[in-house]
Structure 1
Amino acid sequence: MLEDRYGLPLSTASQAARDAYVAGVDSVISGVAGYRGHLATAIDNAPDFALAHIALARGMFLDADVAPARTLAAKARELSASATPREQSHIDAVALAIEGKPVQAMQAMHAHLKTWPRDAMVLAPATSVFGLYGFSGDADHEEQLYQLLASLAPAYGQDWWFEAVYGFAACETGRLDQAWTLLERALAANPRHAHAAHFRVHVMYERGESAMALDFLEDWMPRLDKRSLTHCHLSWHVALAALAVGRTDRAWEVYRSSVHPGGAWGPPINVVTDSVSFLWRAELAGQPRNNTAWREVRAHAQSSFPKAGLGYADTHALIACVVEDDNEALQTRLAEIRDKLEVNKYPPGDVVIGITDGFAAYGAGDWDSAIFELEAARPETVRIGGSRAQRDLIDLTLVAAYLRANRIEDARRMIAQRPGRQAAVPVMGYQ
C-alpha cells in the first residue's frame, strides 16, 4: 500500500491521489493556503478515498466553512465503510470535532493515538490554543497538552509539524528555551511553515523582543498567501509589535489592511478577537478611540457570533459591546451565558462574566471596581482559551487600572511577574 508522510498505509492505489493528499495535509497542518486544490485533486483521482474527504473537511472547518465541512465529514464517514480500521478510527476522531462534539472527539483522539501515535491529522485538532484542549475550559489545559505532546515526542522525532506544536505548548507553559529550540528547528526544516513562524513570534513576545519580532515578520510575511488561515492573526502580531516599538502608523496600516473586518480575510474568531484586542491595546497605549473601527468590529462580532457559546469569542464580543455602549446586546449575551451555566454547558464557567464586569467598570472610569473584578477574574482567565499573549489583554487592562488609581507599586509588581510584558505594549506610557 502507499503511505502518507508519517509512514501510515493509505487505502488508495493512485500515486497521484496519494501525492496530492500528502500535499493537502501538509497545507492544512502548516496553516498555508493551497489545501483545497491539493485535496480536490486527490479526490478527483480517487473518488472513494475517504481520508482525502475528511482532510478537506478539516481544512474547511478551520476556515469556518462549517456547513460544507460537516457535509464532507458525513461523506467521509460513508466512504470509511471500505477503509482500514486505522482510517475508520481516524475519520471518526476528526469528524467528531467537526460535528461539534469536543468531549467525544477528545476521547476518540486519545484512543486512536494509543495505537497510531504518528497520525498527525488526528492529533492536530487537540493542539494549539483553539484546539480541543484550548477550549476545554480546564484551568490546567496548557500543561495537559504539553504533557501529551511530550509523551508523543519519541514517535515523531524531528518532524517539522510536530516540533512546532510541541514548541508552542512549551512556550505557553513557560518553557521558553525548549520552545525556541523546537521552533527554530521546525522553521529550518520547513521555512514556509506559517504556524512555526507564528509560534516563534509568541516566544519573542514572551521575552519582550518586540523589535526582533517585527523585523522577523516584516521579512517573512510578504511570501505568505493572504488566503492562508494564519495571515490575519500573524498580521495582528505585526500590528502589536509595531505598536510596542512606537511605530503607530505602521500598526494602524497593518490593522486596516489585514486585521479588521473590512480589510482582512480570516476565520471570524481571529478577525473578531484580534480586532478587539488591537483596538483596546491601542487605547491603553495612548491612541485616541477609533469609533468607526469599533462600530465595525461590534457589528462583525454580533453577526459572526450571534449567540453565546464560545467563551473566547464571547469575551471579545462583550468588550466591543462595552465600548459601543450596546447594553442590550451585552445583557442578552450575558443572560445566554448564565442560562448555559445553569445547565453546566459553558466550559469557561463564570469568568467571562467577571472579565466583562471589569472591562465595563474600566470603561466607566470606575478604577476601583475594575481592579476588584479583574483581580478576581484573573486566576481563572486561562479557562477562556487563547494564548498567554492574547490573554494579556486582561492583565494589561488591570495594569492600566492600577495606574489610573495611582496604585503604582501594584502595577510594577504585576508587570514584574512576567518581565516580557513590560515591553509588550506601552501602557499609558509606563516605563
Structure 2
Amino acid sequence: MGQTDSYGNAISTGSAAACAAYDRGVHLFLGANLGAVGAFEEAVGHDPAFALGHAALARARMMGGDMAGAKAAIGRARALDADTREGSHIAAIGLLLDGKAFEARTAVKAHVRDHPLDALVAQLCSNVFGLIGFSGEVGREAELLAYTGSLLPHYGDDWWMMSMHALSLCETGQIDASMALMEKSLALNPRNANASHFKAHAQYEAGETGAGRAYLADWLKEYDDRGVMHGHLSWHVALWALHAGDEAAMWDALDSRIGPGAARGLPINVLTDTAALLYRAELAGFSVAPERWQQLSDYAAQYFPQTGQSFADMHAALSHAMAGQTDRLARIAEEAKGFAGDLVRPVAQAWGAIARHDWTGALEELTQVMGSTERLGGSRAQRDLLELTYANVLMKLGHPNEACRSLQTRRQVLAASPPLAGFA
C-alpha cells in the first residue's frame, strides 16, 4: 500500500520507514540544513525501488556539490517505473541535472500547475538562485513574485513557502510585507536557514546594518558550518561589517568562513561571495593584497573553466582582471555564453578597464548593462557590486553629483552613506 508524504502527495512506496525518512529529508533540504542526503539515502535503503527517493537524493547530492552521485541517483530514479506525477517529478529534476535549464523551468511550471504541493519540484524555481532567478530574462523578479504568489495559497501556514514568497516580496521592494511574512515563517521553524537568509536580505534593504549583523551572527552560532548556506550567510555578516567599517571582522569572516579553503558551500557561492567582498572592500578604501585576487582567479579557473553560468562568469572575470590574468579575462570577454552572456561580455571588459584605471572605457562598458542588471542573476544585494562600481567610476571621472543621483534613483538604501571611499 502506498504512503502519503507530509504535503499530502501520494508516493509509491509501501514502506512507512522509507516515507518517514523521505519526509525528514525534504524538510531538511527545504530548510537548507545538514542531513538531507543521509535521510534520502536511508529512504532508498528501506525501499530500493522508491523512485522519488532516488530523485530526491539526486537533488540533495547536487546541492552538496556531488554531481557524480547526483547523476547516478537520477539514473536509478529514471530506470524505475513511476506513475504520472512521479514521472513528471523525476523528469523535471533530470532536466536540471542534464543542464537543460530552460526545459527544466518549463517542466517545473507545468508540473506545479497540476501538483502545486510537490515541494521538491516547486523549489527548483522558487528563489533568486533558481530557474527563474537564473533565467537571464527581463522581469524575472516580477515573474518570481507571480510564481511564489500563485503557490502560496495552496500551502497554508507552511514555513517553507512563506519564506520563499517573502523573498519575492523583498526583491520587488515590498520590505514591510516581506519582513512580516518572514517572521511568521521563522516562528514556525526558527532553524530554517533559507528564512534567516531572506530576513537578512530584508534587513539589508531596510538599511538595518546593526540589527541585521547582530541577528545573523547570533543565528549562525547554531548552524553547522557544513550547511550549504553557512558561507553565504557569513558573507552577509561580513558585508555588514564592511559597511560598519569593521575591517578586522570582515577579514576574519572571509578567511575563516567564506573564501576558498574556508567555506564548505558550493563553488558558485565561494567565488561570487569572495569576489564581491574583495572588490567592495577596495571600493570602501580597504587594501586588498594581490595574493587574494590571484588565489581567487585560480579558484575560478579551476571550478568554472568554461563560460555558461553568467552570474559566476561575471565574478570570475572580476577575479581575473584584478589578478592581472589577462588571458583568462579575455576568454570570458570574448566567449561568454549562457543566460546573460551578452551582458557578461561588456561587464568583463569593464573589469579589465577598471584594473587599468581606464575609467572612460569602464563607463562605456558599464553603461551597456546598468539598465538590465537583473538579467545577470543574484539578489539586489549582490548586484549592488555593480551599482557601487558604476558610482565609483563616475566619481573617478569627476562626476560626484551624477554618482549620487545614480544611487538615489537606483539604490536609495545605499545613497545616504555608501561604502565608497571619498564619497561625500
Q: TM range, normalised to the smaller chain?
A: over 0.9
Q: Deviations over 1:195-254 (max 9, x none)?
A: 000011011111111111110011100111111110111111111011111111011100
Q: In the TM superposition, what is the alpha-carbon distance from 1:5 to its structure 2 partner?
A: 1.5
For residues 422 and 210 of structure 1, the distance between their equivalents in structure 2, rounded to whole angstroms, comes to: 14
**Percent identical:** 39
* Aligned positions of 1:1-400 closer than 5 A: 1-79=2-80, 81=81, 83-337=82-336, 340=337, 346-400=338-392
Aligned residues of 1:30 and 1:195 also touching (Cα < 8 A): yes
Aligned residues of 2:329 and 2:348 also touching (Cα < 8 A): no
Deviates more, 1:394-403 or 1:273-282: 394-403
The answer to whether 1:411 aligns with 2:403 is: yes
Q: Deviations over 1:53-84 (max 9, x none)?
A: 111110111222222211111111112x1x33
Aligned residues of 1:244 and 1:426 also touching (Cα < 8 A): yes
The one-letter code sitting in structure 1 at the alignment partner of 2:225 is: K
Instruction: Give the number of the structure with larger relative contact order, counting CA–CA contacts within 8 Å between residues 6 or more apart.
Output: 1
Change beyond 3 A, Cα 1:424–1:153: farther
For residues 93 and 416 of structure 2, the distance between their equivalents in structure 1, rounded to whole angstroms, comes to: 40
Aligned residues of 1:33 and 1:225 also touching (Cα < 8 A): yes
Aligned residues of 1:126 and 1:132 also touching (Cα < 8 A): yes
For residues 105 and 358 of structure 2, the distance between their equivalents in structure 1, rounded to whole angstroms, comes to: 42
Q: In the TM superposition, what is the alpha-carbon distance from 1:359 to its structure 2 partner?
A: 2.0
The one-letter code sitting in structure 1 at the alignment partner of 2:343 is: V
Aligned residues of 2:308 and 2:341 also touching (Cα < 8 A): no
Deviates more, 1:376-385 or 1:233-242: 376-385
For residues 418 and 20 of structure 2, the distance between their equivalents in structure 1, rounded to whole angstroms, comes to: 45
For residues 100 and 159 of structure 2, the distance between their equivalents in structure 1, rounded to whole angstroms, comes to: 29
Deviates more, 1:327-336 or 1:308-317: 327-336
The one-letter code sitting in structure 2 at the alignment partner of 1:40 is: E
Aligned residues of 2:34 and 2:224 also touching (Cα < 8 A): yes
The one-letter code sitting in structure 2 at the alignment partner of 1:379 is: G
Aligned residues of 2:231 and 2:270 also touching (Cα < 8 A): yes
Q: In the TM superposition, what is the alpha-carbon distance from 1:300 to its structure 2 partner?
A: 0.5
User: Structure 2: which 5+ residue stretches go unaligned?
Assistant: none
Give the corresponding residue for 1:422. 415
For residues 285 and 152 of structure 1, the distance between their equivalents in structure 2, rounded to whole angstroms, comes to: 41
Q: In the TM superposition, what is the alpha-carbon distance from 1:424 to its structure 2 partner?
A: 7.6
Q: Deviations over 1:271-322 (max 9, x none)?
A: 0010100000011111012212111111100000001111111111111111
Deviates more, 1:184-193 or 1:101-110: 101-110
Change beyond 3 A, Cα 1:54–1:294: same
Change beyond 3 A, Cα 1:234–1:291: same
The one-letter code sitting in structure 2 at the alignment partner of 1:97 is: L
User: Structure 1: which 5+ residue stretches go unaligned?
Assistant: 341-345
Instruction: Give SS of 1:202's match.
Output: helix
Deviates more, 1:128-137 or 1:248-257: 128-137
Aligned residues of 1:17 and 1:46 also touching (Cα < 8 A): yes
For residues 143 and 430 of structure 1, the distance between their equivalents in structure 2, rounded to whole angstroms, comes to: 32
Q: How many residues align?
A: 422
Aligned residues of 1:243 and 1:425 also touching (Cα < 8 A): no
Aligned residues of 1:272 and 1:313 also touching (Cα < 8 A): yes
Q: In the TM superposition, what is the alpha-carbon distance from 1:31 to its structure 2 partner?
A: 0.9
Q: In the TM superposition, what is the alpha-carbon distance from 1:425 to its structure 2 partner?
A: 5.0
For residues 429 and 71 of structure 1, the distance between their equivalents in structure 2, rounded to whole angstroms, comes to: 54
The one-letter code sitting in structure 1 at the alignment partner of 2:10 is: P
The one-letter code sitting in structure 2 at the alignment partner of 1:74 is: G
CA RMSD of aligned residues (A): 1.4
Q: Deviations over 1:390-424 (max 9, x none)?
A: 11101101111122222111111122122212368
For residues 388 and 310 of structure 1, the distance between their equivalents in structure 2, rounded to whole angstroms, comes to: 18
The one-letter code sitting in structure 1 at the alignment partner of 2:355 is: G
Q: Deviations over 1:248-276 (max 9, x none)?
A: 10111000001110211110000001010
Instruction: Give SS of 1:130's match.
Output: coil
Change beyond 3 A, Cα 1:379–1:336: same
Aligned residues of 1:117 and 1:155 also touching (Cα < 8 A): yes
